[in-house]
Copies of this chain bind each other. A is one copy, B any other.
């Protein structure tokens, strides 16, 4: 979902500053399935204000200068409801961890073991986060459903890692010396009799 819509969604739970919206994507209820950076949040809020989707009130407390508190308007709420009617596309997942694991054979087994340990800690943390958010904002059935989903996924991931860490490491250490050089020699389907001309440069 684009950042503007995400900002509207964040503001639906109450007024907030740009900074607070960022935190909602880092630690709050959206943390595990949406994200946005300052570089997109602030421009989005400005655009939403110009479009009348949000209103701003500048809070001048003690010392701290301008602190812009954003509130969603009726138009903004209508806009969000409209966006909720889209057909959701593919989930986008980008995991450096799985990328590294994909090439386990090219790395030292110890390194692979460390990576898995780190990832298990990471998933433990994720479960703690969900539990914490669960206490902080009880909320309705939609949120509970999403939280439950996250819990199920992370629990399964954790189980998979603990079940398969040792087997993988065993396999890597036994076949260690061989180094299969990954696609050099007998590569996949070497069938193409096109005339090829080597490019210069």
Contacts and interface: CB of A to CB of B under 8 A. Distances in A.
Contacts of A86: 96, 100
A67 B36 CA distance: 38
A137 B32 CA distance: 32
Given A59-B195, A194-B61, A102 B159 contact: no
A39 interface: no
The 3 closest A-B CB pairs, nearest first, are A156-B156, A104-B142, A88-B96
Contact of A148 (B15, B35, B164): B164
Given A93-B33, A96-B86, A105 B142 contact: yes
Contacts of A140: 104-105, 180
Contacts of A15: 187
Contacts of A35: 92, 94
19 contacts: A14-B187, A14-B189, A29-B102, A33-B94, A59-B196, A60-B194, A61-B195, A86-B96, A89-B96, A91-B97, A92-B94, A93-B94, A104-B140, A105-B140, A105-B141, A137-B188, A140-B180, A153-B156, A155-B156
B59 A88 contact: no
A145 B157 contact: no
Copies of this chain present in the complex amount to: 2
Contacts of A155: 156
A168 to B, nearest CB: 5
Given A56-B199, A137-B188, A148-B160, A99 B34 contact: yes
Contact of A1 (B99, B142, B175): B99
A146 B98 CA distance: 6
Interface bracket on A: 35 or more
A121 interface: no
Contact of A199 (B55, B67, B96): B55
A146 B116 CA distance: 12
A153 B199 CA distance: 44
